[in-house]
Structures are given as structure tokens and as C-alpha cells.
Amino acid sequence: MKKLLIFSLLLFFGTQLSFAGSTDIAIKSAKGLVFPNNNVSISYDAKSQEVYIKFTTPSNYKINYALYYLRWMDNQWVVLQEFKKENAPVKNIAVETNYKDNSGFLRVTHSARDVDQYAKPNTYERWMNRGQFLSKGKNDTEWKKLDL
């Protein structure tokens, strides 16, 4: 019984260490894929299995508002693919950036399953309907839900 417990603990901690190494690799390879690639940071919370992507939208960035959220969808999808290559478990993916005029921030969160299933041009509306879209002003402390 004692040997089984020790083996189980070694297996558990070995798996956790393996995920830590694989998430580092996924983060490094995914950073170059986020667009626009401006002040990109990607972090991973092993406990919640959430990936958090943050980047700065430059003030001179030309935004096509008809396709505005497609950039978010693409960023979630490419980063998720890097984590999947490394067999790192992901439940949720959040993307955050500033408003172009720096008046506040936008955050979009989806389950990894929804990103896998709906982050495609022909299922774009389903992706939009399944996400959590939040906004906050530059000096605000609380996020507010956006109704799209």
C-alpha cells in the first residue's frame, strides 16, 4: 500500500512537472503567432488550466470593425494549437488588449472546446455567442459584461 502511494505521488508530481515544461514550450512558440505581435505576454495557470493572452493594440493599428473579433478568435485558436502540440491541458483561453485610443481594455474568454469547435470562419457566430466579452475603463477596477 505504501509503495502504491509513493508511486502515485511520483506519477502525479512527474505529470505536473511535465506539464510545466510543456507549457513553457507552448508559450514560447505561441508568442510569435499572436497578432498584432506588440507587447505580447502569455501565461498559464496550471490549477485552473487557463491560458491568458495579453497584447497591446497600437494606436496606429487600422481596425476593420466588420472583422474586429476575428483577430481575437484567431489568437485563441493559434495559441491553443501550440498547447495541444505539447499535450498541455487547457480548459479556458482569455485574450485581453487595450482599446485603440487607450481608454480601456477588452477581454474575451472561451472554453478550449468552443475554440476548437467554433474558431472557424463558417462558425464565427457560434464562437461569438459562446464567449464571455468583458470591458473596463482605464481607471476602473471591475470588468463589465459587453452585450454584443
Q: What are the residue ranges spanned by the domains of the chain?
A: 2-145
The predicted pLDDT at position 148 comes to 73
The phi, psi pair for 145, rounded to 5°, reads -70, 135
Model pLDDT for residues 45-96, shown as the tens digit of each residue: 999 999 999 998 887 877 776 567 788 899 999 999 999 999 999 999 999 9
Over residues 102-137, the pLDDT tens digits come to 899 999 999 999 999 998 878 888 998 999 999 999
Q: Would you tell me how many other CB atoms lie within 10 Å of the CB of residue 81?
A: 16
pTM score, whole prediction: 0.79
Strands 132-137 and 144-145: antiparallel
| Long-range Cβ pairs for the range 63-69 (8 Å, 24+) | 63/100, 69/108, 69/128
Q: At what angle do helices 2-31 and 68-85 cross, to 10 degrees?
A: 140
